Amino acid sequence: MGVRYALVTGGFGFLGSWIVRYLLEDGVKVRVLARPGESRENLADVDVDVIIEGDVVRPDDAVRAVGSVDTVFHAAAIYSDWAPDPTEMYNVNLRGTFNILEAARRAKVERVVYTASVVSLGRPEPGELADETTPYESWSIDFPYSRSKFFSRELAEYFSAWGLDVRVVCPAVVLGPGDIRPTPSGKVIVNVAGGKAPPAYFDGGACYVDVRDAAKAHIAAATRGKSGERYIAGAHNLTNRELITTIQDVCGRRRRLVKLPVRVARTVARGYELQARRTGKPPLFSRDFFEFCLKPCYYDNHKAVTNLGVRFRPLEETITDAVDYFRSTGRL
C-alpha cells in the first residue's frame, strides 16, 4: 500500500521540508515533529496537517509523534563538520534514531525511511566508486558526524532485522534552496559566491546531490524500496576544484585558483580550528573534515536510479537555485 499519512521528523529542516512539500503534492497527510522554537520559515507557505512540538531525544515525544501514521520519514539530525563537544550530535543522531524507531515498532508503523548519509558508508579506493556495500573504514579520523551516522544507520538496519520495515537512504552532500542555517555544504556556496573563500583548493572530492532530488529519493524509497536496503542519493562526483569553479561560473566571477599542498592545507585547517575554539564560531573547514575529504568520496547511484526510478538534475541548476535562494533571503 502507498503512503497515506506520514510523520516527518526534522520536517522544517533543509531536506525534511522538501520531503514534506513533495508528500503534500502527492496528496499525503503530513505530520511534522518540530523542536520548540525551531524556525518555521521553510514551510511558511504550505499547509501541514499537524505540527507536534517535541524532541526526538525524548521517548514520550517520539511515541506521540508516530501515533496513527503509516509511514515515518526520520530526517532529524545534527549535521555539522565541526563539533568540539560531539555529545549533543551523538545524542540526537543516535539516541533520537533509537527513540523514533522503537516508537514506530511498538506502534506497528507500516514502514520507516531513515535518512543516513554517504559518510556512513566507506570511502572508495582512488579511481573507484563506492556503493551501498562499501564497508566503513574511517576509524582513524575523529569526524563525529560521520561516526554518528554510521552507528545510527547500523541501528536502523538492526531494527529492520528485528522485523520493522526500514528502508535507508544515503544522501550525498546536499545542495540547493531552503538551506536556512546554512549547512556546511551551503556555506561553501555562500563563501565562494560572496568572494569570501580564499582562491585556493586542495586534493580530494565528494559526491553532491540537489536537496529536491534527495527528497524525492526518500519518497521513492517509501513506495518502491525494500526493507533493509540502502539507496545512495548522489548525482555528481566532483573534485574540490571542480565544485569551486562550477560555483564561480554560475556566479560569473571566475578567479584563478591555487592548489594548496596537503601539508599547507592541513596547517591552514589547524589554524582555522584554533581560531574557532577561541571565538566559538565554526571554522571555514575543520581539520577532521579536511582529513576525511582528502580521499575522494565518490559514489555510484545505479541502485537508486534502477530500483527506485530516481532522476537527478544538472549541478548548475542546483547551484543557480541555491545562490538565488541565499540572495533572496539575505544570506548572501
- Per-residue pLDDT tens digits for 24-49: 999 999 999 999 999 999 999 998 88
Rounded Cα gap, residues 263 and 245, in angstroms: 23
Residue 76's pLDDT band (boundaries 50, 70, 90)?
very high
Rounded Cα gap, residues 244 and 267, in angstroms: 21
- The residue-averaged pLDDT of 139-144 equals 92
Flag the least confident range among 203-207, 230-234, 293-297: 293-297
Q: Tell which wins on pLDDT, 278 or 214.
A: 214
Residue 1's pLDDT band (boundaries 50, 70, 90)?
low
- The residue-averaged pLDDT of 105-111 equals 98
Rounded Cα gap, residues 248 and 71, in angstroms: 41
The pLDDT assigned to 198 comes to: 81
* pLDDT tens-digit series, residues 86-97: 999 999 999 999
Residues 6+ apart with CB under 8 A from 69: 5, 6, 7, 31, 109
Q: What is the DSSP string of 240-283?
A: HHHHHHHHHHHHT-----EEPPHHHHHHHHHHHHHHHHHH-SPP
Rounded Cα gap, residues 199 and 188, in angstroms: 12
The pLDDT assigned to 99 comes to: 98
Are the CB atoms for 298 and 124 separated by under 8 Å?
yes
The pLDDT assigned to 174 comes to: 97
All structural domains of the chain, each given as residue ranges with its CATH number in brackets, are 5-177+208-235+298-313 (3.40.50.720)
- Cα–Cα distance list, 139 to 13, 23, 147 (Å): 29, 37, 8
- The residue-averaged pLDDT of 229-250 equals 96
The pLDDT assigned to 282 comes to: 84
Are the CB atoms for 19 and 219 separated by under 8 Å?
yes
Cis peptide before 182 (omega within 30 of 0): yes
pLDDT at 223 over 90: yes
The pLDDT assigned to 295 comes to: 87
pLDDT at 57 over 70: yes
Percent of the chain with pLDDT over 70: 100
* pLDDT tens-digit series, residues 151-179: 999 999 999 999 999 999 999 999 999 99
The pLDDT assigned to 8 comes to: 98
- The residue-averaged pLDDT of 117-135 equals 96
Flag the least confident range among 4-18, 38-52, 311-325: 38-52
The average confidence (pLDDT) of the chain is 94
